[in-house]
Amino acid sequence: MESFSNPTWLFAGMLVSTVGLGFFMYGKKEARIPHLVAGMAMMAYPGFVESPAAILAVGAALGGGLWLAVRAGA
């Protein structure tokens, strides 16, 4: 994959993965399953996506889905 050498891809992946790590740690500490799942997904998927824009879009979608799940009482 050529995208691993792209600085924009690296920064976008690092940004989303760091937010995912925060969700994962919070979910583990507070026993919140939605946060755990969203955190694991946010840490894992950047390795499979080649576009920085797609990394950020999927990250925003996962964050929005987590927000909706928490608002719904999950």
Structural domains of the chain, count: 1
Average pLDDT value for the chain: 91
DSSP state of 73: T
User: Domain limits at 56?
Assistant: 2-71
pLDDT of residue 1: 55
28-59: pLDDT as tens digits: 999 999 999 999 999 999 989 889 999 999 99
Token reading at 53: 């824009």
Helix axes 33-44, 52-71, angle to 10 degrees: 180
State percent of the chain over pLDDT 90.
77
Distance CA 59, CA 42 (A): 6
Provide the residue count of the chain.
Answer: 74
Q: Give Cα 14 distance to the centre of its chain.
A: 10
